Structure 1
Amino acid sequence: MTATLVLQDVARHFGGVPAVDKLSLQVPAGQITGLIGPNGAGKTTVVNLITGLLHLSSGKVLLDGRDVSRDEAPELARAGVARTFQNIRLVPDASVLENVVAGFHRHEKAGLWANLLGLPSARAEAKRLNERAMALLERFGMTALAEHRAGGLSYGHQRRIEMMRALATEPRLLLLDEPVAGMNDAEAESLAGIFRSVAASGVAVLLIEHNMRFVMSLCAHLYVLASGRLIAEGLPEAVGRDPKVVEAYLGA
């Protein structure tokens, strides 16, 4: 199976203190890979390094075999890297539909003047993007909320909007940073099916999550961080029994 994302001895130091220290991992296409660890382990720092929001202190990030270690966030987004955030980042006063349509921005073909002048090509494209956004809303069970103000919806609904916007970019690599935080088991399970279908379509998915039941049921392979270092990796069942992992989560 081809690895869409490869990290090679990736490190990031803040004032000489390693937040991530010589981390190597692979995220294959068509699979959900988990990155777990206790609070402060460095997981979100890893996502920020992959997406260009932080720069590496050392090591390499490879995307489909290409070194993207020095690429900035906009370049990586154009290359097909999408993410969600721990702290939801929506346009709160825009509608649900408008927030999702924004995700299709990199696929727009009509130019600025075509949009400003309302040319037929621009109107036709806007119609197509709205239809594609509505298809995502249907997939996430939110069609009835299309015209609702995004900022006025529940936390769980806002989480779903952020995921739809990320999927609207048609990513090759999708990074999910605690996507089911604050959700109950039924809400989480409904998203699990969507994530499985996304991976099955050929997308490489890296999942960061504290809900261990959710992680164990979804991931084909797990990496475990503690204090910025990789302490275990492998199949979920084996990782869950690893004494180092148990100690990292529960203490000696």
Structure 2
Amino acid sequence: MSLNMEKTNLSIGRYSATIFSPAVAKTCPVVYTHFPAAEAEAVASLQGDPKFVLISVDGVDWDCDLSPWPAPRVFNNRNDFAGRADAYLKELTEKIVPAVEAKLGFSPCCRSIAGYSLAGLFAVYALYRTDIFSRVASMSSALWYDGFLNFMKTNRPIRLPERAYFSLGDRESKSKNPRLATVETCTAEAENLLRSLGVNTILELNPGNHFMDVPERIAKGIRWITI
């Protein structure tokens, strides 16, 4: 599918933001994501006739900036999780979001955050640390992360989101890694925790493992939160 959105690049310190806008974008929803620009463009191209702005922020160190607190690595060829999400969230809310929306020239009617894998964990975590996001989409996310469900149980979002979308591949829990194997149970419990607070939530299972149809899964989640 061809890209039906205008593309603009913006540098913000060590970060870069790629802005995908509909032809006429005035006071429409804005969705913040953390994908490489090429992956974000693939997601944008699946949106048909979008009525929202898609922002892709690049330049983050995933294992450091998107993890809520220190935790051991999952794979031997990766670093331990540094747990610097609070510091990065300050950068996002105080520098990146204001710069992007100054470039857009309008305030969004609703501001959402969406993410896949560790970025999906960060998207949910952000609800408990800032009130600037009113909707969230968390696809194939690292909700198995050490201590995260307990964090959700013992804390409350600063602002309850209007909508919260969760999805997962139906083979993701088949992992031989015992931490990753809990992902389906953890995702279902995370969705239930928000639903019990009165949030409009949904959990969808998609065919395949963590790496299957990634742009399509992301696009579907973003469509649901921008209705």
What is the TM-score normalised by the length of structure 1?
Answer: 0.29
What is the TM-score normalised by the length of structure 2?
Answer: 0.31
Higher relative contact order (CA 8 A, sep 6+): 1
Higher Cα Rg, which structure = 1
Relative to total residues, which structure has the larger helix share, 1 or 2? 1
